Structure 1
Amino acid sequence: MQQAALIYKELGIDTLQEYVAFLQEDCHVVRSEGIEAQTRVELVCNQRSIVATVHVIHSDLIACGEIGLSMSAQAALSAEPGEKIEISQAPALDSLSQMRAKIFGHRLERNAFDAIMKDISAGRYANIHIAAFLTAMAAHRANLQEVTDLTSSMVDVGEHLSWGTTPVADKHCVGGLPGNRTTPIVVAIVSACGLTMPKTSSRAITSPAGTADVVEVMTPVNLSVEDMKRVVREQGGCFVWGGSLALSPADDLLIRVARPLELDSDAQLVASVLSKKIAAGATHVVIDIPVGPTAKVRNREQANHLENVLTHVGFANGLNIRVIQSNGSAPVGRGIGPALEARDVLKVLRCEHDAPADLRERALRLAGELLEFCQTVPAGQGLEKATDVLDNKAAWSKFKAICQAQGGFKEPEVAPIQYVVHANQAGRIKTVDNRRLSRLAKLLGAPEAKTAGLDLHVNLNDHVESGQPLFTLHAQADGEMDYAKNYLDTHPLFLIEAV
């Protein structure tokens, strides 16, 4: 089909990652091409092409013969005001029939996943298509072969790094436990011991902060592949947001849609985690699965199933996996939210007297396991080695060196608006609701508002007096603080048992 050309007009409309084209209702292209609202169109400019969803304008915001773009679409095309943009109806996607088959519960073969991941990574799927795929994978539990094939397909559509050495260490936590920010500490310890640990991390999906969100408070994480290689070559480790790289690119698009859905199925979780590890060139990965009544993984049965899938899919894709099932009954550390969690990480690395003991202990255990798994130290000596490296400040020195190599280090900032919540009765803290903690932190603005979140003053099983401070809310805007207070009125975080 011959492509029509329209003149680009800048509108400054942010639709996040969704590519949107804005057309006037009387535009000749709209009439002649049979285009209407929600039509998928292919746009070409500067020898780049994308597929976008049409929104029709019924006002004089743009003129006939003009086209507006969402900010993400404009960036993808590198379009400048006044440039011509060619437009035509997007070709039909054969992979959508495979996606629909999954919706109806059919098993998919490797070639089906290849086609779906190729189209997603190329930006040919609208958000609604991605949401349908994610929902289908969650509603109809994928078998081991499907998860293995999905993982391989996600790797194959992106770059695959090689470090010319072995072992290459990595670590991941499946999430669901607020404040459990062990990764920066583990990377600092392990790389200080001489191992190669090129850590790529995601941003938050269902939590108020991901590792990339937290580390970004202290140092740049949007590194190119070339910069990542330079940092690892100089320091042995790095902290990089996976979305800034072309490693398993379909995963980042899936995550962006999964975030507002708060959907994180076992199949997608495993494929997401392992595809990034494989693409980043890891050989040995320690995975932490917190288990608790309000964690992401609720019980041992679920944890055992997830461990089985992780180890099977990892082995099938050439990864050595060691899974650690940990206590997920309560949050870890005191801060929940990017800046507050970064503060806790720094306290542990600096060996400050008020560093959160639970965060320190978890990080040391995982670092020790990884050192033993990579045979850097004999079995049974990993924890001792990790503790020595942390206590003699070698890990802190390594962390600072990595940050400097990535663009510099800065201290976390503090939220301008704070509110202290007090206990309304005396007693023992019997339970802590991790999910409500996460929800509250997100209402306060985390992770987008870096200083937003909660600062906990008590722990599970602590005895509290009536009127004692339980936690402090941190926000950057009054409206978000009000949302959080209203939520607290009907959603208590702690169950305090009178004694």
Structure 2
Amino acid sequence: MSQPVLPTPRGDGSLLLRRIGIDTLQESVVYMHADCHVCRSEGFEAQARVEVHLNGRAIIATLNVVDPGLLAVDEAGLSNSAWRALNAAAGDRATVSHAPALDSMSQVRAKIYGNRLDAPAFDAIVADVAAGRYPDIHIAAFLSACAGGRMNVQETIALTRAMVAAGERIDWGRAPIADKHCVGGLPGNRTTPIVVAIVAAAGLTMPKTSSRAITSPAGTADVMETLTRVDLDVTAMRRVVEREGGCLVWGGALTLSPADDVLIRVERPLDLDSDAQLVASVLSKKIAAGATHALIDIPVGPTAKVRSDEDFLRLQRLIEQVADANGLNLRVLRTHGGQPVGRGIGPALEAHDVLAVLRGAAHAPVDLRMRALALAAHLLEFCGHSRPGQGQSEAWRLLDSGAAWAKFQAICEAQGGLREPALAPLREPVLAASAGYVAAIDNRRLARVAKLAGAPSAAAAGLELHVRLGDDVEAGQPLFTLHAQAPGELAYARRYHDAHPAIALEGHPA
């Protein structure tokens, strides 16, 4: 049998690039034929780390070797992220070589074995992560080695500083610069857009950068993306803030603490969010964005992220120590975390709640309104705008007068225009099997149900909560309504809840 005639390799060793159309999120992947002359001559094996060069650009990518049929021997396929990173075009040819040695991995291995790392070690690791030199498996190893209380205060300070140093740092040339963050674990707690609108309407500067969801059904950036554009660069962000006094943008589109967004991407499937990583992630973003005064909201409840007073005090001390070491004025608030906030859980549903509060609608969720007002009041006093004890009345005035709503509209218009969030085409109520009162709501299970319904990837998916703790419920009454964009996701979420109920009902005492 005659052998197939293989293409003759070019003398420069280059390979014709092809966009394979595979979504590998932000990890760059290159695909090569098993008989590729470059693979053979360089001794490449599957999962090797290689460097791809094109027109003065270079990326580090993970190699996948494919069987005959998908690629010719003189071709290299690129994942979507690798194609974008190289700014490749049809017909381009690139060279592929061994990636440089990753010296900082020795520090990761040291951490895995329980050793303490110093500031230069974290600088090296974070710089390599930000530059895209770590594959996801190495990032996962680093995150795991730092989880479970394996980081002390000095290490957390060093990690925070390394994350700030790896990117840009904005200087607004004035003070105070306000910021606010919730550590999470409480579905629907979307106070940030309301707080930014109130604080900016008061004349303070609040350039808010937010992340997408890590382990929750929605992050602030996911919610705001249903309302306006959030992927602004630093120049556009500055323009919005100088014009309106505030913004609500996605931190991943900026070069502020860029390693954080890479780490978050790997944390998400691991469902991992350690105290040290949480503190370094939150504070590095605040510091890089130029904040001088930050308010940290820590909800505490039996099924929140922070479950006890002991956990709260430990996290509070760590945040305050790291903030103090970095010159950031910080105030930590302990808030109630026994049940979700608002009605919607999921990007678009939470956006509807935010709009209802800002517009002063009669159906606006009272708990979301009151939490946002309390946080805004603390921030107004903390930044010196209001005298102690007067922040609450000022926050109420700005919200009830419509000034906060006008400011929110102006910020959204400056970011690209305000739009109404979509509604999911599929909805199914989940009914109470018996009469009683709502004795407990499991935040984690309810968040899981919303995620299985499609949130946050499907922006309109999630659930709408109809009951609160202590409410009387009749048999057959809707406890919440599932929202989904696909029948399979709707059924999947319903099956999970049937097996793991998130709302506990108890009969009334005799």
Same-fold call, TM > 0.5?
A: yes
Q: Which whole-Å CA distance do the structure 2 matches of 1:372 and 1:212 have between them?
A: 26
Q: Which residue does the alignment assign to 2:274?
A: 265
Structure 2 equivalent of residue 239 of structure 1: 248
Amino acid in structure 1 at the alignment position of 2:371? R
The structure 1 residue matched to 2:349, chosen from 340, 347, 355, is: 340
Contact 1:403/1:409 (8 A) holds in 2: yes
| Structure 1 CA distance for aligned equivalents of residues 103 and 19 of structure 2 | 33
Alignment of 1:177-188 (within 5 A): 177-188=186-197
Q: CA deviation at 1:438?
A: 0.8
Long gaps (5+) in structure 2: 1-10
Identify the residue that residue 371 of structure 2 maps to in structure 1.
362
Q: 2:217 aligned with 1:208, yes or no?
A: yes
Specify the alignment match of 1:402 in structure 2.
411
- Contact 1:21 1:54 (C-alpha < 8 Å) held by counterparts: yes
Following superposition, the deviation at residue 47 of structure 1 comes to: 1.3
Residue 49 of structure 1 aligns to a residue whose secondary structure is strand
- Are positions 1:116 and 2:129 aligned together? no
- Counterpart of 1:331 in 2: which secondary structure? coil
1:275 shift after superposition: 0.2
Q: Secondary structure of 2:180's match? A: strand
CA distance in 1, matches of 2:73, 2:125: 35
Aligned: 1:315 with 2:319: no
After superposition, give the CA deviation of every residue in 1:348-386 in whole Å (9 maximum; x if it has no partner). Answer: 001111110000010000000000000101011111110
**Does the aligned pair in 2 maintain the 1:297–1:303 contact within 8 Å?**
yes
- Which of 3, 20, 26 does residue 35 from structure 2 map onto? 26
**1:486 & 1:142 partners in 2: Cα distance?**
39
Q: Following the alignment from structure 2 to structure 1, what is the Cα–Cα distance between the partners of residues 279 and 235?
A: 27
Contact map agreement 1:105 1:140 (CA 8 A) in 2: no
CA contact (8 A) 2:437 2:507 kept: yes
Q: Distance in 2 between matches of 1:369 and 1:233?
A: 24
Distance 1:216 1:15 in 2: 22
- Matches of 1:13 and 1:412 in 2, distance apart? 29
Structure 2 equivalent of residue 377 of structure 1: 386
CA distance in 2, matches of 1:395, 1:317: 31
- Alignment pair present for 1:6 and 2:15: yes
TM-superposed CA distance for 1:482, in Å, is 1.2
Letter in 2 for 1:275: S
1:414 paired residue among 413, 420, 423: 423
CA deviations 1:295-341 (Å, max 9, x no partner) are 00011100111110111100100100100000000000000000000
Give, as a single letter, the amino acid of the residue that structure 1 aligns with 2:254.
L
**2:147 partner SS:** helix
Would you say the 8 A contact 1:179–1:333 is kept in 2? yes
Out of 40, 53, 69, the residue aligned to residue 60 of structure 1 is 69
Amino acid at match of 1:336: I
Amino acid at match of 1:190: V
Deviations 1:141-200 (A, max 9, x none): 211000000000000010000111100000000000000000000000000000000000
User: Is contact 2:166–2:257 with CA below 8 Å preserved after alignment?
Assistant: yes
* Correspondence for 1:83: 92
SS in 2 for 1:219: coil
Q: Name the counterpart of 1:94.
A: 103
Amino acid at match of 1:391: D
Cα distance in structure 2, aligned partners of 1:320 and 1:357: 30
Q: Is the 8 A contact 1:421 1:472 kept in 2?
A: yes
Q: Could you tell me whether the CA contact under 8 Å between 1:3 and 1:87 is conserved in 2?
A: no
TM-score by length of 1: 0.99
2:174 to 165, 168, 183: 165
Following superposition, the deviation at residue 140 of structure 1 comes to 4.7
- Give, as a single letter, the amino acid of the residue that structure 2 aligns with 1:488: H
Q: Where do 5+ consecutive residues of structure 1 fail to align?
A: none
Maintained 8 Å contact 2:178/2:206: yes
Give the superposition deviation at 1:224: 1.0
Give the match for residue 55 of structure 2. Answer: 46
Aligned to 2:434: 425
The answer to whether the 8 Å contact 2:149/2:275 transfers is no
Partner of 2:259: 250
Contact 1:284 1:374 in 2 (8 A): yes
Q: Residue deviations 1:428-466, cap 9 Å, x none?
A: 101000000111111011001000000001111111011
- AA paired with 1:440? V
- The verdict on how the C-alpha distance between 1:3 and 1:194 changes in structure 2, with shifts beyond 3 A counting, is farther
SS, match of residue 194 in structure 1: coil
- Report the Cα distance in structure 1 between the residues aligned to 2:149 and 2:363, rounded to whole angstroms: 47
Which of 456, 464, 472 is matched with 1:463 structurally? 472
Q: How far apart are residue 81 of structure 1 and its match?
A: 1.9
Moved more, 133-142 or 467-476: 133-142
Task: Report the TM-score when normalising by structure 2.
Answer: 0.97
Aligned AA for 1:359?
L
- Of 112, 118, 123, which aligns to 1:103? 112
Match of 2:161 in 1: 152
Q: Quick check: 1:304 aligned with 2:313?
A: yes
Q: Using the alignment, how far apart are the partners of 1:12 and 1:70 within structure 2?
A: 6
Q: How many residue pairs are counted as aligned between the two chains? A: 498
2:333 is aligned to: 324
